[in-house]
Amino acid sequence: MSNESVTFTSEEWMDFRQRYSTVKHSLNNALAVFMALAELAQRNPENFEKLAKSVCTRGPEIAALIQEFTVYLDSKGPPAPLR
How far the first Cα of the chain sits from its last, in Å, is: 20
Encode pLDDT of 41-79 as tens digits: 899 988 888 889 988 999 999 999 999 999 988 887 766
Q: What is the mean pLDDT of the chain?
A: 86
Q: Are 27 and 62 in contact (CB under 8 A)?
A: yes
DSSP SS3 for 18: helix
In this predicted model, what pLDDT tens digit does every residue of 58-67 receive, in sequence order? 999 999 999 9
Residue 46 is classified by DSSP as G
pTM above 0.85, yes or no: no
Cβ-Cβ contacts under 8 Å for 55 (sequence gap 6 or more): 34
